[in-house]
Each structure stands twice: as structure tokens, then as C-alpha cells.
Chain A
Amino acid sequence: MEDTYRKKIDWVNIVLMVVLIAYSLFLVVLMLWGVATSLKSREEFYDNALWFPRGNIGSWAWGNYSFVWKNFAVETFDSLGRKISIDIYGQFLNTLLYAIGGAFLTTLCCCIVAYLSAKFKYWFSSIVYTIVLITMVVPTIGTTPAMLKFLKLTNLYDSWLGAYLMKFSFLSLYFLIFHGIFKGISPEYSEAATIDGANEYQIFFRINLPLVTTTFYTVFLIQFIGYWNDYMTALLYLPTHPTLAYGVYYMSISNMNRLAQTPMRMVACVILALPITCVFVIFRNKVMGNVTMGGIKE
């Protein structure tokens, strides 16, 4: 009977394997092509758009990287209508502020509210849990104009405070993940701490929070990667604080002389992708851990 299983599985396996190999190969080709293009001069790219740069590695157009690094800037207007230019260092700083700050606040908020909702059996905790479930099932579309109107009215538009306040939300799947984990933590830890004289803040920060550290890091990393690559929020809500992703998008659609050349655009892509790829390689197991709707397996 197992033979039947193995015989049948072969063709299913083979078909899936072939499709997956084709999928992976296309991605590899795309990435290699992007990197190879970033190392070509404009002239060589027109002459040789498909293959690796000609000549030995030393003769490749490595200067493209230093050129982009020095000249790549986003030009925009501040609230007074003055033209401002944000160079690559500024974009990096904005990216770190946005990705680290935003990811930390989202993760922390979900974690805190999930803890309160899971461990304190007040009627309000049930309401909070229900709110999260409802907002996940019931969609609201087209609220961006109202958000922009509100942010402009309260001077939070185009400010880090406004961006951070928007991120400090518990309406997310991650709330449910934390909730499930806190529910599963035995109350004995907290009881023992109480007997030892710990107050509620100490019980949370010193006892329960360390117990969910792995999940906290995982959620933080997933959010961090998402925010690192997110240019649309910055474009909408932080126009004078362009992130690197915003800058790369800006470069891809603008006509900035030499920077508008395809090899230069590929350089910008590599600069944006390289740090986050390193983060992924280092924390691959955490990011790709067993994420399920019911929780993250520690």
C-alpha cells in the first residue's frame, strides 16, 4: 500500500518540483540580471543588455555605486514651499527611524494590549478582543482622505510623531498571535512574583514579557522588513522625510539625467535590497519560523 503511495507521489512531486525550480530560476535570473546591469556603463548596457558585463571584474563599472551614493537625492518641497534635497544618508536615517520605530511601536502595542486582554478578565478585555476580530473581518475602504484631513488639522501630517502614532495600533493579526501565547502562559509565574513582592509592572516587564521574547523579535522583524520596503506610507504621510524605498521609487520614475539610466536604477535597487537581505540571512529562522494564524511556535 505504501508502494502505491510512493508511485502516485512521484508525478505530483515531479510536477511541483519542476514548477518550483522554474519559479526559483526566474527569480535568480532576475536578481542576477539586476546586479549585472548595475555594473555596466550606459554604453555597454545598450550594447549588451542581457549578459554579464564584459571584461574582467576589475573593469566592470563599479563607479556606478559611488556615483549613485554621492548624487542620489530626493528633491521635494517643505511646508513653506522651499525646495529641499534629501541625500542618501538622510534617506537611510529616515528608513531606520521609520522601520525600527514603526516596527517596535506596532509590536509593543499588540503585545501590551494582548497581555492585558488575555490575563485580566475584565469585561473591557472581551470588548477589546471583539474589536480586533470585527476590524479584521469588516473592511473599511477609502479612509485615507479623512486621515490626511485629520493629520493636517492637528499638525501631525509629515511628522514623525504622526507616523508613530499611526503605527501604535493593536488592530492586527499579531494581537491575536500574542493573545494566544499569553493565554497559554501559566499564571503560576505571576503568582510567584506577586508573593515575592513584585508589582504589576514588574510582573509584566520582568516575568511575562521575557517569556514571549522570541515571538516579540519575530513580529518585530516581520514588521521591520515590511516597513523597510514600504514607500507608499512615506509618500502619503511623510513627504519631506523620504525613506530609501521612497528614494528608489522616486529614482525609478524621475528623469534625473545620469541617474535615470537603467544601470543606475539597478544600483539603487541593490543598495536598498542589500541591508534587508543581510538582515534576512542572519535572522532567517526567526522570520520564517512557524507562523500560523493560531500563534508562532516558540
Chain B
Amino acid sequence: MKRTIPLAICLIMGVVMMIQFFIPHPISLEFNSTILNWIIVLFAFALVLAIGNLIRHHSIKIRKRKHDWPYSIVTLTSMAAMAIIGLFWGIEADSLFQRIYLNIFAPLSATMFALLAYYMASAAYRAFRARSLEATLLLAAAFIVMVGFMPFGQYISPRLPAFAEWIMRYPNMAAQRGIIIGVAFGAIATALKIILGIERSWLGGKE
């Protein structure tokens, strides 16, 4: 029962959602919309679970005075403050919540990703070596696209931006399309295995 009921629910949901896709009747569309609302709610509950785990992790770190525990206070305090401000004072465009979002969350997020520019360039410098034809092609394509899309690319050669665009539109498109089609086959096969109960690793545990 502990495994059969979840597997049956998974099978029924999978089959019903597949059939629903091919029935453009108002009842079918209404059903899809209702289920989608439920799924959104379930996602929110999953987030609550994740946040519960985060709070537990940092609370244990503080209680046991583990390495760098004072920073856990920063995480928990800022999370509580942001949540309380948003929950009780609203999230409207001119609210304090949005000001914090624009002046704390957005700059931190953008700077974190900007930092990756340096690390990607540094990793590329260490890893990219033109040892074989394949490695040389990878290096050349990356270099042409990077330089071609920079404003000074056209000063090196007026044709460089157009060549970078050509690489993106044709050879790159061909490879990406091949990969997308392969991934789609894999995803469909995996989804079928899950619906039919062949793939059961999501059940976890032994019982």
C-alpha cells in the first residue's frame, strides 16, 4: 500500500494529463486550469518545506557554535525581516519590500552573476588548450562569438560581427537542435517510464 497508492496516483495523473492535452473541450480546459492551480499550491508547500530545512540547518549551526555561525544569524534575520515586511506591509510597486528588492536583492544577485564572468574567463584560460581539432574549434568558436559581439569586434574586421552571427545561426543552431531533439527523446522515454511505474527511484526508501 505504501508504494502502490503513490504509484497509482502517478499513473492516473500521467494518463489523465496526457489525454487532456488532446481534448480542447471547455470541461477539459477547466480541469487543466484547476489542476494547475493545485500544482502551484503544492510547489508553494514544497518551498515551505525547503525553507523549514534552511531554518533548521542554520539554527543547528548557531546552537552548536559551528564554523562561521554568526553569518547564520545574518541569513535568518534577513529572511525573517524580508518575509515579515512582505507579508504585513504588502509587495506593491512603491512598498518597502520592493525597495529592498531593488536595492539589496537585485544588486547582490547581479553582482554574484557578474562575478562569474571573471571565473569563467579564468577557467577558460586554464582549460582551453588547442590540443586537438575539436578543442581548437571550440576555442575558435568561443573567441569569434565573444569578440564578434563586442563593439570593438568590427574594428578588428568589419566582417567579424556577421561571422559571429553566422556561427550562432547555423552551425550552433544545428548542434543545439540535435541536442534538443535527443533530450526530447530522453525526456519522453523517462516520462513514460515514470508513468508506467518502471522508474520508481522517486519513491525513495525501502518500504
Do the two chains bind?
no
